[in-house]
Amino acid sequence: MSSTGFGSLAGKRVIDLTRVLGGPYCTQILADHGAEVIKVEPPRGDETRDWGPPFHEGDAAYFIGVNRNKRSIGLDLTTERGRDVLLKMLEGADILVENFKPGTMEKWGLGYQEVLADRFPGLIHCRISGFGSDGPLGGFPGYDAIIQAMAGWFSVNGEQGSAPTRLGLAMVDMGTGLYSTIAILMALAERQQSGLGQYLDMTLFDCAVSLMHPHIVNYNLSGRIPGPTGNAHPNISPYDTFRTGTVDIFIGAGNNGAFAKLCVELNRPDLIDDDRFVNNIDRVNNRDALKQELESTLRNMDGNELFPRLLNAGLASGPIYNTEQVVNHPHTRHRQMTVEQGWYRMTGTPIKMSRTPGKIDSLPPGYGQHSREILRQFDFSDTEIDSLIAAETVLEKRK
């Protein structure tokens, strides 16, 4: 059986009804650390299987990147027989994760309060949705970029004076996946005391608002609406990209001691006692002048030589890498953040545990690859399995 017998979540069973990114990212984290994750896909499959190029054997890299260590069963939950199969699978399950439009599970007679809480009292039901089921936006669909726009991310991203800009990562989805993982682990910890599961109401909107730090807290105390600052930090200076004679590098000096050390390393001790730059608030208020002073020196220096010297001096500094450079960097490989198994070359797990480390136990499944195996696990007879597949209630190939 896939994804069992190792890791901190060994013995925990997850029924994963999610698609696209936030939910699958959450369940992959659980799977990487030993949970048995059964990915239940609708007849058409997880649509990210088609989100390419690039592809491997018909599945897009987008899908492959967040679905390892799982088994897949195709199941039509719009049918009563399909829902009966799901209910059978929930017997003994610890966690149910789904990201259907709010109200869908209730329409199918699978609502948590109405059915699941009584039938499976230990079950942790995590719902991921755009806005939740109630409130002014309750029930509406939500996608990463739309939530970025509505949660203010566009307004603080980009260069000063530029048009509102989407963040280049799907961080609303992935951040919600991370928050959902935290919520599930909290519920598991609480269940050890109470013996009861609970319902987790996770939304892209809530998570995106929570991640708007420090812009929301700055606004709440100052009343000033934040705008884009490019690569500069709104609360710290110097904390920005700087031009050197060869490459752009990022330098961060978050306190007076670090700023003084930077000035010494750049042979500009005159800046330490300059009235414009004495404290961080002065440096923030005079950030343009400070950047001009620093770049007047940096443009005569080799950035490739400078940033390791600054690192060795205890200062935060680094070059601007592209994706290829990140993937192939010696430190990325040292930290096992690039992992390879045959054709599979993806991102490793960032969670490093001394006794119960995560691992890649199985590669991302083909659609319905384990449909028969999973049904047998839940005591369906071969006759029942053949009947379910013939009726296309359970599927082994995408429709």
Please give the positions annotated as active site.
Answer: 173
Residue 269 CA to its chain's centroid (Å): 42
The torsion defined by the Cα of 294, 296, 299 and 302, in degrees rounded to 10, comes to: -50
Q: What is the DSSP string of 253-278?
A: --SHHHHHHHHHHTT-GGGTT-GGGS
* Contact in structure between 16 and 97 (CB atoms under 8 Å): yes
CA distances from 128 to 43, 163, 174, 197, 396 (A): 21, 30, 12, 17, 26
Strand order in the sheet with 70-75: 199-203, 124-129, 95-98, 13-16, 36-41, 70-75, 394-395
Measured between alpha carbons, how far apart are the two ends of the chain, in Å?
26
DSSP, res 348: -
